[in-house]
Structure 1
Amino acid sequence: MEMITVPAGEVTVSDRRTQRSWTVDVASFRLAPIPVTRELYASVSGETARHPAVDVSWLDAVRFCNTLSEREGLTPAYEVRDEVVWDPSANGFRLPSEAEWEHACRAGTTGPRYGPLDEIAWYRENSAESAHDVGEKTANGWGFQDMLGNVWEWCWDVYDAEVYGEYRVLRGGGWFDEHWSCRASVRRRSHPTFRVDDVGFRLARAL
């Protein structure tokens, strides 16, 4: 499976609701250049096409990562019982942390986006209100496509445990979103069992 090595770096994550910002050191890791497609999802769990896999919950994505890891002879990154535990030492597929996701999305840039929005993303103004095949829009400087727009992507992190409990972070904006949601810093949250037609995910791995 094609993966791109993301260099180590530092990213400042900001939350608009609380007006908080925090800086995270990101170790080098590997990330898929595109979101998981229906074709890949089907090959592991049974669906087709280069459309992004959607209607996938955070828990679905975690289980998919483990199943694909086992199929590829890798050590699963997650232990799934009453709660999900991530083993950072495992070499299997996993969801990126939100700091990893933002670091890869920005690809060394500092603005809200890594290029002109119509060139890099499917969003409400140009999507005809539907998801599109992955890889059709311009990649960022590190080779990642569809980081913004098309589908929101699940990240590993809990959004705000004190206020929202086990809700997990979503990043990137989707095909139905206005331009202001398709920015590198925008955070969204949802329950780990939530499924909808503008949410998918992208695979990461440790080096």
Structure 2
Amino acid sequence: MSDGPYTEMVRIPAGQVTLSDRRTQRSWEVGLGAYEIAACPVTQRCYAEVTGRRPSVATGDSLPVESVSWWDAAEFCNALSARDGLTPAYRLRAADEHAGWDTAADGYRLPTEAEWEYACRAGTAGPRYGPLDDIAWYRGNSGERLHEVGGKLPNVWGLHDMLGNVWNWCWDVYDAEVYGSYRVLRGGGWFDEQWSCRASVRRRSHPSLRIDDVGFRVARSVGR
């Protein structure tokens, strides 16, 4: 990625995270190997450089890209991988909703929700990695609009906008038995109240939907 100071990939150490679901009142442990995740959500300039498209409702090169579906995000990951000479991570057939992940590939991909939460927490145990107004754009301080990436303080691992600004698509299916192909969203957005901007909050959306407070950031597998 080559789109200014906030597009570097940050290496995240191996570890373990506890996920929880408020609706079902269950929790589960996930062990993780080391991986990389982008310091900020994908910007509109980066998305346009790779795809030639500018789908966002709000416009600005340094704003996070939004109004992108899960399929759009997965296709971007493959296109960025091809551009950078990496092996694409995904085998995608949107027509029949097939998405396969080659876990041996070194290309860009969406983080799993466990990777997302572990990276968001950055070793902290509370609902947020800092005071909300210092780290996130949400309804209480956003002026009900999108903001440029990197404008709030990062967590201790150097990751900006993990909470607020735009929700992040994750790889995972939310609950196949109840919601079919709906995918996981994490992080909260510029129009959300403070309770949505917490490390543990899970939201879902159909992978074909495009929403003006939903974007994504990329990850990569390492050490395989």
Q: Hey, what does 2:78 align to over in structure 1?
A: 66
**Letter matched to residue 199 of structure 1:** V
Matching of residue 198 in structure 1 with residue 213 in structure 2 = yes
Aligned residue in 2 for 1:124: 139
Question: Residue 38 of structure 1 aligns with which residue?
Answer: 44
Number of aligned pairs?
A: 207
Aligned to 1:78: 90
Find runs of 4+ consecutive structure 1 residues off by over 3 angstroms.
none
Counterpart CA distance in 2 for 1:7 and 1:111 is: 19
Q: Within 2, Cα distance between the matches of 1:107 and 1:160?
A: 26
**Aligned ranges 1:106-185 → 2 under 5 Å:** 106-185=121-200
Work out which of the residue numbers 37, 55, 64 in structure 1 matches 2:67: 55
Q: Which residue of 1 aligns with 2:103?
A: 88
- Shift of the alpha carbon at 1:203? 0.4
Q: 1:172 & 1:106 partners in 2: Cα distance?
A: 11
TM-score (norm 2): 0.91
Note the residue ranges of structure 1 that are not aligned, 5 or more in a row: none
CA apart distance, 1:128: 0.6
Give the aligned residue type for 1:29: Y
- Counterpart amino acid of 2:175? D
Between the aligned partners of 1:5 and 1:45, the Cα distance in structure 2 is: 26
Separation in 2, partners of 1:194, 1:9: 33
Secondary structure of the 1:66 match is: helix
Amino acid at match of 1:32: A
Deviations 1:35-56 (A, max 9, x none): 0000000001123511000000
The TM-score, its normalising length taken from structure 1, stands at 0.99
Aligned to 1:13: 19
Counterpart-to-counterpart distance in 1, 2:43 and 2:115: 20
Overall identity of the aligned pairs, in %: 68
Taking only aligned residues, the RMSD between alpha carbons, in angstroms, comes to: 0.7
What 5-or-longer segments of structure 2 have no aligned partner? 2-7, 55-59
CA apart distance, 1:93 = 0.4
Q: Distance in 2 between matches of 1:172 and 1:26?
A: 19
